[in-house]
Amino acid sequence: MPPDHKHSLTPLSEEQLQPTDPSPSPALAYLNTLSPAGKRTQSTALNNLAYIFSDGKSSDALTFPWHLLRYENTSGLSAHMVDIGYAKATINKHLVALRRVLEEAYRLGLYADHNDYYRAAGVRSLRVESLPRGRSLAMSELEALISACQSDHTNPHLGIRDTAIISLMYACGLRRQETVDLNLADLDLDSQKIRILGKGSKQRFVYLSQEAVPAIEAWLQIRGRQLGPLFTRVSKGGKISLKRLSPQAVYYILKSRQKQAGVASFSPHDLRRTTITDLLEADIDVLTVSAIAGHASADTTRRYDKRPEDTKRAAAEKLRSPYKTT
């Protein structure tokens, strides 16, 4: 018999879902701590959770009574989401959102008994083991991408901007959102470093190599030194505005240059994977690489490692064996 999905999770009752006197929104308090990209992602997750915990009667996280959730409501969430087809990694993202919004409800004083909060928020993430996704790009592929940009004679300004974007994304291991969030004020070419706003509004400084600086300087010569977004829009006629690019625009830029360069398909995040892999292959310690990438844990950095199997095989050959032939 097919599973009865409702039996794996206890939703709030209709009475609990009735509107009450306005109170601070834990969901809004949580979302306000996130970067623009994180806010979009976790807003969707919270709306999904509101729908699940209300048995389909609400999908508005901002008005959902999170403080009424108890252990009997939250304990069955993971099993329920598995039943209805969510991937484990996606479930874990929802669990992070749940724990954080309940924490905000507690901080706002909406839980009368702190034990109710601790029990409800005590849901554990699922263990996820999967092969790393994506690929790393060879240096020849990176050079082909830059060459495609520099060969853009129909719109040279666009080629100069895209050269700077690709060079900086690789040099600093940037995410798309981090790339478009950069402002001119974040750049310090005298010290060859840049300030990056990462996930969770965490800031980090990354240093630029000597080879990456000229690409940025060439873009600034045509962009100008007006304060505002570092990477801006360029019209078909080559006119530069101070309007900020979107993460989707970066996706299209890379996809267009990939086709022009004739390299195999890759995702924008593969540039970041390539940076991390190349740093590890250069024997930079994993903690330093983790700091450059803005990872909270070195374990996350290790999952990005795309060094080929030949590297692992060569490492194995360096070990002596206690076994001797007779």
Active site residue 199: yes
Active site residue 175: yes
Residue 203 has phi, psi (to 5 degrees) of -100, 145
- Identified catalytic residue from 157, 204, 269, 303: 269
**For tokens 């970041």, what's the residue?**
272
SS (H, E, C) 218-261: HHHHHHCCCCCECCEEECCCCCEEEEECCHHHHHHHHHHHHHHH
Burial of 129 (0-12, 13-18, 19+ CB in 10 A): exposed
Active site residue 272: yes
- Identified catalytic residue from 223, 272, 273, 306: 272
- Identified catalytic residue from 80, 94, 100, 295: 295
Active site residue 119: no
- Identified catalytic residue from 175, 176, 257, 273: 175
Could you tell me which residues come within 8 angstroms of residue 141 by beta carbon, excluding any fewer than 6 positions away?
261, 263, 264, 266
Sign of the Cα torsion 204, 303, 251, 201 reads negative
Count of alpha carbons within 13 angstroms of residue 90, beta-carbon side: 12
Could you tell me which residues come within 8 angstroms of residue 25 by beta carbon, excluding any fewer than 6 positions away?
62, 63
Active site residue 7: no
Q: Which helix (H) or strand (E) holds 205?
A: strand 203-207
Strands (E) located in the chain: 187-188, 193-197, 203-207, 232-234, 240-244
Burial of 19 (0-12, 13-18, 19+ CB in 10 A): exposed
- Identified catalytic residue from 40, 135, 193, 199: 199
Q: How far apart are the first and last CA of the chain?
A: 62
Q: Which residues, listed in sequence order, are joined to residue 203 by a DSSP beta bridge?
A: 197
- Identified catalytic residue from 80, 161, 304, 306: 304
Q: Which helix (H) or strand (E) holds 197?
A: strand 193-197
The single-letter code of the amino acid at 288 is: T
**For tokens 């129909």, what's the residue?**
154
Residues labelled as active-site residues: 175, 199, 269, 272, 295, 304
